[in-house]
Amino acid sequence: MAQMTMIEAIQSAHDVAMDRDERVVVFGEDVGYFGGVFRCTAGLQEKYGSHRCFDAPINESGIVGAAIGMAAYGLKPVVEIQFADYMYPAYDQIVSEAARIRHRSNGDFTCPLVIRMPTGGGIFGGQTHSQSPEALLTHVSGLKVVIPSNPRDAKGLLMAAIDDPDPVIVLEPKRLYNGPFDGHHDRPVVPWKKHALGDVDDGHFSIPLGEAAIYRPGSDLTVLTYGTMVYVAEAAANETGLDVEIMDLRTLLPLDMDAIETSVAKTGRCVIIHEATRTSGFGAELSAVVQETCFYALEAPVTRVCGWDTPYPHAQEWAYFPGPDRVAAAFRAVMEA
């Protein structure tokens, strides 16, 4: 057991996987010699050689396309898209090739591919370094999609993704790389190494895909969220004094419906929170499934707190970012409904 940042936990997952299985190869823009723009692959090229950890041209379609071919051939590529905002040139490869190989080959081929992408805002990255495109990925049959919220989950989910025989998208909230962020941008951030969730097992372990976690138990209302918004929800719960149950979904596809139904049946109220834009965001899917499966348990309408339907702004980041004040207002409204 060691104390790690999320960056170190992700690097450790790569290291353990590459040591256990020589079929694991890691590549992307600047991930080799430089160790990645966020240093999530630091030291891997030096340890395993440039044939297993290497730099790729600035061509996301080429990175993912080459990785799909490697996966079909029998390798286990783990590739990095430098920011989730850059994944769009590779979207056709992800949707039409990676997600479809098992089906279109009648099971003759699989695609054991992991695509890592830093996601979300809160870093003054503006519209091209702050997007949250998870809904575009959860819409695609054949993919699995995960979003960790802490170092232990980051390593365990990445290990499970690498072990999976099908393509997995790992979205990493970059605002959480060095510590939890509760939305109060004017306050100091507690580093992971001073946080209980910074304790991470050194060796191999995995967290099963498709299992949510109760981050904070409660009885007044259920929060369904993931990534950075776990800590924003916690701050809002503390500031309102409500007994809020916060569910960290961890895996968006497949979704842990048993956990969702159990929690909403207990509390009778549900608030959904995510950074992405509201319209057609993943929260709409969550709202629909809660309404379909928990209708008779609900005491109030399902409520969403999301980013606005605009490009992610630079100058007005904290007006866009769903902070604790907006979340707290939603909590109060649901309790009064």
C-alpha 232: how far from chain center: 15
Give per-residue burial for 128-158: e unless 16+ CB within 10 Å, then b.
ebbbbbbbbbbebebbbbbbbbbbbbbbbbb
Could you list the active site residues?
Answer: 129
Q: How many CB atoms neighbour CB 316 within 10 A?
A: 11
Q: Which residues contact 296 (CB under 8 A, 6 or more apart)?
A: none
Distance CA 326, CA 337 (A): 17
Q: Provide the residue type at 51 as one letter.
A: H
Please answer whether residues 225 and 273 qualify as being in contact, where contact means their C-beta atoms are separated by less than 8 angstroms. Answer: yes
DSSP string, 294-327: HGGG-SS--EEEEE-SSPPPSTTHHHHS--HHHH
Assigned token pair, 268: 């009778």
DSSP string, 31-71: -SSS--TTSTTTTHHHHH-TTTEEE--S-HHHHHHHHHHHH
Q: Which long-range contacts (CB under 8 A, 24 or more apart) does 290-295 make?
A: 290/224, 290/260, 290/264, 293/257, 293/260, 293/261, 294/260, 294/261, 294/264, 294/265, 294/270
H/E stretch holding 163: helix 151-163
What is the distance in angstroms between the CA of the first residue and the CA of the last residue of the chain? 46
